[in-house]
Each structure stands twice: as structure tokens, then as C-alpha cells.
Structure 1
Amino acid sequence: MVKPYKNLEGSKKEQVRTMFNRIAPRYDLLNHLLSFGIDNIWRKNVVKQLRELKAPLILDVATGTGDLAIQIAKIDPIAVYALDLSEEMLAIAREKIEKRRLHTTIQLKHGDSEELPFGNNFFDAATVAFGVRNFENLQKGLSEIHRVLRQDGRLVVLEFSRPKKFPLKQLYHFYITRILPWWGGIISHDKDAYSYLPESALQFPDGKDFTKELQKAGFESQKILPQTFGVATIYVAIKK
């Protein structure tokens, strides 16, 4: 199990909360900078997988600073419940949501993805953007999302993946293991956080391996949509 801080005590969950609380002030800047702004396109592509739903009730797990929840609000859901483990990330999300006057649509919730504070069969859809690799127990987190979704409810996951073709595979590996940790560490003042990002991305079970994890949790995989030559992937699954 990859943890953000190898020299600190505590569970992965505790360390992830500490990490995001530390890097929250510079998180958005680094997200857009290190992805060259392409992460905005990826989030819009996630929302495209929800557009056909009529007045849905949606859960955004690991919402961070709320960027995906804000995008989802554009499809006129009944409500978006945006949950995150980090209080500091939610504080920034709150500012952004209030600035856009979306506080009646987006409900922020401090909570644990592996112990969701919602009843069974509650949501029409759920999303997770760059969050599942931070779950301490992947199966527990996916099973909790399955529990709170209604029958035939939709799960859309956006996560980093590994390009497979030469030369992008080699270029990506060099960027994510050398350039990104150095650059991210300087700007965030937390070198460990931006060393953890590539380590967790490279160890994440992407592609068909992730669809197997979805199936174990009770989902039926519908789509695997590689983004930007496979740097990230969108997974669409249905609760069965």
C-alpha cells in the first residue's frame, strides 16, 4: 500500500487527509499547471456521461475543491452531494461554490468514502475524479458507492492510467516520475505529496484490472474511455 509520508505514522487514510490539508492552497494551481489544463477537458468528458439523466441526484466522492461538482451542476441535477475527507479542500470548494451561487445545488459534506453518510439506494449517479487511488481499501470504497446508488445507478470514475504505446509510454513515465515530483514539490512545498502522486498512479490497477474491481463490488462495466492517449481513463459502470 502506497502512503504519502513514508516517515510518518498513521493509516493511509489519515495520511491522505493530512496531505490534502497541507497542499489545499496550491492544489488547483498545480492541478491545472501539471496537466497543462487538460484536466478541465477530462472533467467535462465525465459530465457528458451523465447528461442523459433527467433531474438526477448525484454524489461526487473525493470532490476536493469542487471542480467536478461545479461542472455537474450545469446539467441541472436535483442536487449534487460533494464529499471529501479534507476540511481544507472543502473550505476552498465552499468559496468557489458560493462565488458561483451554486450553494442551493451543491451540498458539501465532510466524510469518508469508505463509510458514506447516506442511506441505501439514495443516488441516481456517483462520480469520482482522481480519488479512487487514494482509497485505503479500494473494494470497501467501491462497495459503499454501490450501496448508496439506486438499482441501475451510474458510476463514472476518472483516474490516471498508464499509456501503453511507444514513445508516449516512456515520455509519460519520465514526466510523472521525474518532472512532476520536482515541479510539484517546489510549488506546493510538500515534496512527499507529489512523489506519492506518481507512485499511487503507477500502482493503480488501471484498464481491465480496474473493471474487475468494479465487478467485484457489484457493478457492470459499460465503457472504458481513454483520455489523451491513455494518460487518464474514464470508467462508466452500472449498479446491478
Structure 2
Amino acid sequence: MEATISKSESKRQILKNKLKSRTVFLNAIAELIASTIFSALYFIFISRYLSEKFHTDYIMLSFSIGLTFFAAVYIPFHTYRIHIIPFITLITSLRRRNPYILLHKIPAQIIGAFLGVLIFNSINELTTSVQIENLQLINMGDNALLVFINAATASILCYGFYMIRVLFKSKQLAGTIYLSVFYTVLFAATAFFANTSALNPFGYLFYDLLGNQTIADQSVGFVLLNHIVAPVVAVLLIFFYIKPKVLTYRK
């Protein structure tokens, strides 16, 4: 009798592990697809705005970017399990105190962003032939200020993500729509000053590393500081020091 129960429990555990592995794999694939779609469309819409061949104003660009975020989240997997933005993945893992989520989402985001930038570069060469750094509407030569804006944007994005995450259940379409609207507003408020890479960190990282420059005369060290290090520090400060109740909410 005990042997039968033990075998039954063993089979259930094996099945549970298989289902968990399958879920992780599907989430990674969905994250990769979403990141590819997002990075490609993100830069394509900006290039359309900058090109004289297209008639797109700044408000329409902002809505297009928000729609891009919605499409990237909803098409492969219409829940909040899609992050796209690595800072959201980071703070999610901290909140759950389970860093395994970083192991499959971050690599998928990196590969997806790389593929998305390659797609954009190919399309840009054949059509618009613009430089994304020209999006900056106000000429700001202070790199330190740009890094600050980028870091602040990352922290606001993560805070807003969890405000919506608490108010709306993960599988509700309304939550995805509100998150996309929030992203639209954040893009409109920050892109006016500079290319805010916190809104597409791996996308901007590969855009810079593949021979372009969103900020003139920057070194590899500054690229990493602006796109990765400063935003991560800002997100960690939000999580560990400000500690709003919304960030400690559990499902």
C-alpha cells in the first residue's frame, strides 16, 4: 500500500516538473517573440516619425509606441507574464524572492531585442534611412542629465507596472490596455527630452552596439551605464528604500 502511494506521488511530482518545464519554455518563447515584435516596431515607428516620407506627428507617434507595447504583450501571450522590459523582470523576481524567472526571461529578451534591431536596420536601410538619435526634440548635451532621466523613467515604469498589476488581474484585457496607455504617456513625457532607453533597454543597447549612437561620442562603458547600470540602480532604490505597499503585494 505504501509502495503504491509512493509511486503515485512520484508520478505526480514528475508530471508537475514536466508541466513546469513546459510552462517555462513556452514563456521564454513568448517573451522572445514579444521582444522581437516590440523592438522592431518601436524603432520602425520612430523612423516613420523622423522621415519626411511619412506624415506622423508626435502625439500619433506616442500612441503608436503604446500600441506597439500592447501588440507585443497581447499577440504571443495576453497576460502580464510577458515583461519585455528587463527592469520589470528584475523587480518581479525581487518581489517574489525567486530569481529563477531571470534565467529564462532575460536571455529571451536579449535575443528578441537583437533580432528586432536587425529587422529594423534592414528595413531602415531600404526605406527611411534615418538616425534614431534625431528623435531628441530638445538639444540636451548634458549626458549626466540624460542618464538621470533614463534612470527615473525606469523606476516610474516599474512603479506604474505594479500599480496596474495590483488593480487588475493578470489575465484581464483591461490591465493590458491600461498598461499600454501608461506606457504611451511615459513615452510622450520622456522622449520629448531624449531617447529614453529605459523604455526599450536591450533594443537601444543593440542599436548602439551595432554601429549607431543615440548619444554622440559615447564609449562602451557609457552605453552600459546609460542603458543598464543606472536604470537597475534606480529600480533597486525604488524596491528596497521607498518600498511602497504595492510592490510587496502578493498574488
Answer whether TM exceeds 0.5 for this pair.
Answer: no
Q: TM-score, normalised by structure 2?
A: 0.27
Higher strand share: 1
Q: TM-score, normalised by structure 1?
A: 0.28
Q: Which of 1 and 2 has higher RCO (CA within 8 Å, sep 6+)?
A: 2
Higher helix share: 2
Task: Find the structure with the greater CA-based Rg.
Answer: 2
